[in-house]
Amino acid sequence: VLQQVKIHNLEAITLDKSLFSAKMLEGQQALLCGCGCGWTDSTRQMIRCLIKESKVPLVIDADGINVISEHPEWLLEKQCPIILTPHLGEFARLCPEMDDLETAIQTFAERYDVIMVVKGPNTIVYGDHRFYRNTTGNPGMATAGMGDALAGMISSFCGQGYEPLLAAQLGVYLHGLCGDQLYLDHYTVLPHRLIEKIPEMMKRLSNEKDIDWDNKSL
């Protein structure tokens, strides 16, 4: 599978998680884990290692979040900012006894000192004791792999030096904006088409909203 990814996507950097070690973290600017990993013992070992060893922003998605739902106390061992990106089903595993979504998000985020990105209609970002609701996005984006694309965008902004909370906000907004542009002409928005839209929409935002991507300022 990894070889097929390399053939069709030259930009992708792939890693066999069975070969994962703490030494591989050296020289990284940001890390993303959990996408497509499976809810397995090897994923548990990788997540535990990343939380304990990473010194750079860490985005945890998909099965990484499922692992955290079993061991949320691991988050207290972190040495870096952590962004969790659950959809509503994954968040329900993190907080199975929640009565109110916003209260549960705030309680979990502050207990474990993490940034939360809870995906759904008007995706919620919580960090620095504040809620942010996204205004972009549409029903056509409810397709497989869309959350992986978002996690990658947030990770990319972290790797470029954006503060983790701002990286989450920009990633969520830009992700939805690209999806909205595609939804004008397509009933279903596919992740690979959304990714192709990113440079165009970043350029449009820089022209319309005075966003300085290079200096990481709004």
Arithmetic mean of pLDDT over the chain: 91
Q: Cβ of 68: how many Cβ atoms within 10 Å?
A: 25
Angstrom distances, CA of residue 163 to CA of 55, 85, 139, 167, 192: 14, 16, 29, 6, 26
Residue with tokens 């290079």: 214
pLDDT tens-digit series, residues 40-71: 999 999 999 999 999 999 999 999 999 999 99
Q: What percentage of residues in the chain have a pLDDT greater than 70?
A: 91
pTM of the model: 0.92
- The full set of domain ranges for the chain reads 2-208
Residue 39 pLDDT more than 90? Answer: yes
Q: Does domain 2-208 have CATH number 3.40.1190.20?
A: yes
> What's the whole-number mean pLDDT along residues 98-122?
96
Q: What is the pLDDT of residue 159?
A: 96
